[in-house]
Amino acid sequence: MRVKASNNGKPEGALRPEEFPLGSPESRAAARMVAANRKDRRRRIEFVSSVRIPWHGGDSDPDPENLANWPEGQPHFGPWRDFGETLFRDVYRPAVRLKPGEPIPSCSACGTPFQKEKDYPGMAYYAAACLDRHDPDRRSNTPPGESR
């Protein structure tokens, strides 16, 4: 539950832990509410690649089933991994190289056409332009083809 802040900076109707006896159920509930509304301010790093990366670290081997379950032509966001002062995650941004006249692909999930990123001799590089729409941390209600 998010609490709306008032003009003086104190959340409207929010109960503060110090307003209750130390260790009481009310004090603990107020402390949990304060903690739930606090944003994680650690630095976040995203490794964005057009190569699907099925493995997210740890002691286990890469999971081919994980890769097989990703829809083709759709961005994918790995979980945030904790590196102390930094959070890190892998992001798959589908991309293609096309020759002139080939049809421009669209995201298989939302229908947003891929965007031209770079021209090469005899071809162009197109990539998904809808990462914000699929990012669980930054969902966007922007209609396909429009920018935020």
Helices (H) and strands (E) in the chain — how many of each? 3, 7
Question: Are 14 and 6 contacting, i.e. CB atoms less than 8 angstroms apart?
Answer: no
What confidence category does residue 73 fall into, taking pLDDT thresholds of 50, 70 and 90?
confident
Of 24-28, 101-105, 116-120, the range with the lowest mean pLDDT is 24-28
pTM: 0.62
Domain ranges of the chain: 43-134
Q: Is it the case that residue 147 has pLDDT exceeding 50?
A: no
Q: What is the mean pLDDT of residues 96-116?
A: 94
CA atoms within 13 A on the CB side of 39: 6
Query: Token pair for residue 59?
Result: 């002691």
